[in-house]
Amino acid sequence: MRGPGRWAVLFALVVLAVVMVFPFAIVAVNAVKSPAEYSSQGPLSLPDGLYLQGIVDFWNRVEFGTKLWNSFVISASVAVFAVVLSVLNAYALGIGRVKGRLSILVLFLVANTLPQEALAYPLYYLAKAVGLYDTRLSVIIVMTVIQAAFGTYLLSAVLGQFPKEILEAAAIDGAGRLRSLWRIVVPISRPTLNVLLIFFFIWTWNEFFLPLIFLISNDTQTVPVALGVLQGEKYMDATMSSASALLGVVPAIAFFLIFQRTLTRGVTVGAIK
Amino acid sequence: MRVRTRGYWPYLVPSLLLFVAVIVVPFLMNVGASFTRWSGVGTPRWIGLDNYARLMEDERFWQSFQHNVGLIVAMAVVPTAIGLVLAACLFDYIGKRFGPRTASALRAMYYLPQVLPVAVAGVVWGWMLHPSYGAVNQILGLDLDWLGDPDLALATVMAVMVWFQLGYPVVIFMAGLQRVDPAYYEAAEIDGASWWRKFWHITIPQIRPEIFVVLLTCTIAALKVFGPIFVLTRGGPSNATMVPSYFSYLNFFQKSNVGYGSAVATVLALIIVVVTFLFLRVQERES
């Protein structure tokens, strides 16, 4: 195709891209309108000015700062702990090649594909029994194990290809296993570990089902849970709803922009194992 | 070197302990609860397979799986099909004629919905689809209750999920295309093959592994789908968008039918494990 044909293809793809991005734009536009402006102009007009009261009101009403902090604490803890566990497991499975490693890997893989619904009620019950219900720690523990199951699976494959000569040289120099892990394996695998760290952080941030079940009070809820639960509340008028949507969208886009390069590299690492 | 592999076991201990406490024991408890009548407090009463017998006759349970099939179409089949065409267009058409920057900018725009927490995507669309003040009705000049009309609700949720999911296959397929040897395309061009012929006979066979991975992960995600249903419709109106995960949640936390909810969750887990297993088998045979 030459001439007008190629522009037609480009045009079609651009139209689709606009459709994909449109919801983000219209949420942003309407989050900065006053309720009066919204009711007279509707959702499609451009805002007359910056009216931030809707966002401020919503922020204060749901104590959004607390929600952000909860999400951050939970996601960051899970990311760090899950990477640590994944590295320890993968060290034993990928490099140590312990007996029965295939069955252990399959076990981790099955754990990762199990629907959380099949664990949810017992976890809820057990969390209540040990006094962890409605604490951030409960979600941190459970999500760490679920993420580490995937991380182990991925990282074992990566460490399976680790050059043995380096480790043997270190052993001859008298380095113990723990020292080899910390001084050699971890630094050399740093790029993969970074990808995992970022993925675990974002996946945990986006998690909805388990946090919804464990976190019921205002002080412990995460951003997606708070927004999901408030949807459809009586006081949520049109502009406040769009303000709430915008506040949910902004952190996600911020992560996307900050981690874009690692993410696009990582999506493919995760897919082709 | 003799005790070499035994020496690595301690590294597995922390994970195995946590794994037993967080996955194995709860899963067995869930299976156990599915054989009982239990409200969540007091002692569960053993009723054998009654919950499963009841499932077989529960219309809502079967409906919820039918809705799951619709969601597999919306989250796995349609995004894979559209994603293939988009990825091929971006990679060997836009990328070559308008430069790689145009291609990656478009790819980023398609991928954008994927970065959202799925619950937040639900909040965005709940607002856009609102029957009285939503933007969608205004744009289309319609007056439809997208999520409140039982005949429309599932189709609406499906459309939202296509929007949400599309970017994932595009990114994976574009990455896969990078490892295809350009010589195939050059040879085909010398033979005068059309774009569609090349797409069908080179692109698709070459990135078959990626297609498998995308179909598998998206099918599992569709079987598990909970967040968008919770936020957009809560399974309604009149069960028009009920899915197994939400159905079990409802039985656990709202109806205090823990035993019955556990049976639903167990069946769902079983289906997911079987689907995963079948996919992996087919993939193995292909390669």
List pLDDT tens digits, range A240-266.
888 999 999 999 999 988 887 776 666
Distances (CA, A) of B77 to A34, A244, B140, B210: 41, 32, 27, 14
Q: Is residue A214, in this structure, part of any structural domain at all?
A: yes
List pLDDT tens digits, range A13-59.
999 999 999 999 999 998 888 888 888 888 888 888 888 888 998 99
Q: Is residue B8, in this structure, part of any structural domain at all?
A: no
Residue B1 has a pLDDT of 43
The string over A19-32, giving b where at least 16 C-beta atoms fall within 10 Å of a residue's C-beta and e elsewhere, is ebeebbebbebbbb
Contacts of B249 in chain A (CB under 8 A): 117, 120, 209
Q: Is residue A4, in this structure, part of any structural domain at all?
A: no
Q: Is residue B123, in this structure, part of any structural domain at all?
A: yes
List pLDDT tens digits, range B167-195.
999 999 998 888 888 888 889 888 888 88
The answer to whether the CB of A195 falls within 8 A of the CB of A262 is: yes
Q: Which of B27, B120, B168 sits opposite A245 (nearest CB)?
A: B120
For chain A, the domain total comes to 1
Contacts of B273 in chain A (CB under 8 A): 110, 113-114
List pLDDT tens digits, range A104-118.
988 888 888 899 999
Q: Is residue B119, in this structure, part of any structural domain at all?
A: yes
Question: Which residue ranges of chain B lie beneath pLDDT 50?
Answer: 1-3
Q: Is residue B129, in this structure, part of any structural domain at all?
A: yes
Residue A273 has a pLDDT of 35
Residue B180 has a pLDDT of 85
Q: Is residue B89, in this structure, part of any structural domain at all?
A: yes
| Rounded-to-integer distance, Cα B102 and Cα B66, Å | 40
For chain B, the domain total comes to 1
Domain with A161, as residue range(s), is 64-230
Residue B185 has a pLDDT of 85
Structure tokens at A138: 């409960």
Of B160 and A233, the structure prediction assigns the larger pLDDT to B160
How many helices (H) does chain B have, and how many strands (E)? 18, 2
The domain that holds B203 is classified in CATH as 1.10.3720.10
The answer to whether the CB of A145 falls within 8 A of the CB of A77 is: no
Residue A14 has a pLDDT of 94
Prediction pTM value: 0.91
The domain that holds A111 is classified in CATH as 1.10.3720.10
Residue A195 has a pLDDT of 87
Q: Is residue B29, in this structure, part of any structural domain at all?
A: no
Rounded to a whole number of angstroms, the CA Rg of chain A reads 24
Q: Is residue B182, in this structure, part of any structural domain at all?
A: yes
Residue A46 has a pLDDT of 84
Distances (CA, A) of A49 to A38, A59, A115, A246, B133: 12, 20, 46, 17, 20
- CA of B45 vs chain A CAs: smallest distance (Å): 16
Average of per-residue pLDDT values in chain A = 88
Contacts of A180 in chain B (CB under 8 A): none
What residues form DSSP beta bridges with B45? B37
- CA of A61 vs chain B CAs: smallest distance (Å): 17
φ, ψ of residue B49 in degrees (nearest 5): -90, 15
**Partner-chain contact A115 B265, CB within 8 Å:** yes
The answer to whether the CB of B114 falls within 8 A of the CB of B214 is: no
C-alpha closest to that of B165 among B206, B94, B116: B116
List pLDDT tens digits, range A136-189.
999 999 999 999 999 998 899 888 888 888 888 888 888 888 888 888 889 888
- CA of B84 vs chain A CAs: smallest distance (Å): 13
Q: Is residue A156, in this structure, part of any structural domain at all?
A: yes
Task: For B32, name the nearest residue in chain A, comparing CA atoms only.
Answer: A122
Domain with B97, as residue range(s), is 66-232
Across the range A190-215, mean pLDDT stands at 92
Query: Does the N-terminal peptide bond of residue B237 adopt cis geometry, omega within 30 degrees of 0?
Result: yes
Contacts of B261 in chain A (CB under 8 A): 121
Q: Which of A43, A98, A208 sits opposite B5 (nearest CB)?
A: A98
Q: Is residue B194, in this structure, part of any structural domain at all?
A: yes
Residue B71 has a pLDDT of 97
Across the range A4-10, mean pLDDT stands at 81
| Rounded-to-integer distance, Cα B199 and Cα A9, Å | 15
